[in-house]
Structures are given as structure tokens and as C-alpha cells.
Amino acid sequence: MVHHLDSAIPTQTDKESPSRLGCPKDLQVGDIYTHTYHCLKCSIVDRETEKIYSDVIEAKSRGVLFGCGHGAGSFDWKVAEIAANKNFWPDLMGSDLHTVNQHGPVYDLPTVMTKFFHLGMPLTEIVRSVTSSPARAYCLNSIGSLSDGMDADVSILRIDECDIKLEDAVGQTRNVKKRILPVAVWRDGKNHPVTVPAIREYTSVF
């Protein structure tokens, strides 16, 4: 897994210098490029042209996996919208949840799922990106599906109407009308309580 943020290795390489190291150009099938939708200098998009770099598209087409890895600084609404316009969805929808971002902008994994649902990502792909795809990517053979013989890891979710503003990592907000919420969860057959985070009040900068 590659954490490619404030890096000297370019996202897009010069085609006239094929020997130059690039990321994700030099990643291989099954490698993971995380923090995909950040807006730092190693962004996957050219902000002037609003296009995804060709090295990024080529890497995804040959089997490099792209993860969200939202975190406290790695999700930008504008970058995600440019990618969404090209149906460039995350293969793995990680939250990168920790103490700095649990009260915003991440909150929890269903909130990250909500953001991509708002962007137009098909629900079936969202579910796949938080279940079978990461299980396969990390070679976790006993989880990721509801098949016979698998660990009894079960999450029940619902989609509610809402009217909330969800922020990204740089303070931009979008008005979200549908929210994915947890109803119940079992880990290895044991039921655990669920909580719904309170969303902070934000005034959109756009």
C-alpha cells in the first residue's frame, strides 16, 4: 500500500522519459494506492484541466487498486467530483478513522459511504468496496461475504432522507440529502451496539 501525498515522485510521468519513477505508474497488479482523493501536489487530477492523469487511469485498468483512505486530510470534494464524473470510484473505501477525525470530517465508515453515494457511486459498488474487495485485497479469506463457512460478520444498514452538510478535509461542504446509517452489527456472530455520530454544523464555502 502506497501513501502518496506530499511526495517528490510525480503522479504523472513524462512520456518522453519512460525510465523515470512514477506513482502509480510503477505500481503492480494488486498494489494499493491509498488517499486517492486528496488535493495536495500529488493529486490524481490536473486541477486546471479537471482531468484524471493518464498514468492513474492506466494503473487502474491494469489492476492497481485505489483506496479512499479519507482520514483527516485526504478527501477533497472537488477532486472526488472530478473523479466521479469519470466513474473513477474507489476499489477500497477505507475511512482511516482515528482520534483526530472521529468527530469530523470522517465520523465513521457509513458517513464515508454516504459521501460516495452522494457523488453517484452505485450502491452495489459501495457495498463491494467495504466488504468483498478489501477482504480479497488483504487476503482475509474468512470474511467479506455472507457465504456458508465464513465468519458471521454482518452489518445491517439503511438509507434515510436527511438534510445535512458534510465537510471534506479542507473545509468544503456539500449538502447531502440521503444518508447511510447503521442499524445493527455482528462480529463473528456476536452482536455489538451501534452509534450514529452527530454531524457538526458547517457553513459551506461554496
What pLDDT digit, counting tens, does each position of 26-48 carry? Answer: 999 999 999 999 999 899 999 88
Question: What 3-state DSSP class applies to 127?
Answer: helix
H or E segment to which residue 55 belongs: helix 54-61
Residue with cell 451501534: 194
The answer to whether position 90 is within a domain reads: yes
Q: Assign residue 60 a region: left if phi > 0, alpha if psi is -120 to 50, beta otherwise?
A: alpha
The answer to whether position 196 is within a domain reads: no
Q: Is the pLDDT of residue 204 over 60?
A: no
Residue 28 near residue 36, CB atoms below 8 Å? no
Which has the closest alpha carbon to 127: 169, 80, 159? 159
Q: Average pLDDT, stretch 142-168?
A: 96
Residue 104: which domain range? 2-144
The answer to whether position 189 is within a domain reads: no
Banded model confidence at residue 206, pLDDT cuts 50, 70, 90:
very low
Residue 91 and residue 142: Cα distance in Å, rounded?
19
The answer to whether position 95 is within a domain reads: yes
Residue 171: the pLDDT is 93
Task: Name, in order, each residue with C-beta under 8 angstroms of 187's C-beta and a sequence gap of 6 or more.
Answer: 153
Q: Grid coordinates standing for 194?
A: 451501534
CATH code, domain with 133: 3.20.20.140
Summarised one tens digit per residue, pLDDT across range 88-138 is 999 999 999 999 999 999 999 999 999 999 999 999 999 999 999 999 999
Number of domains, the chain: 1
Q: Average pLDDT, stretch 18-23?
A: 85
One-letter amino acid of 129: S
The answer to whether position 56 is within a domain reads: yes
The answer to whether position 190 is within a domain reads: no
Q: Grid coordinates standing for 182?
A: 447503521
- φ, ψ of residue 74 to 5 degrees: the values are -125, 25
**pTM for this model (two decimals):** 0.94
The answer to whether position 198 is within a domain reads: no
The answer to whether position 151 is within a domain reads: no
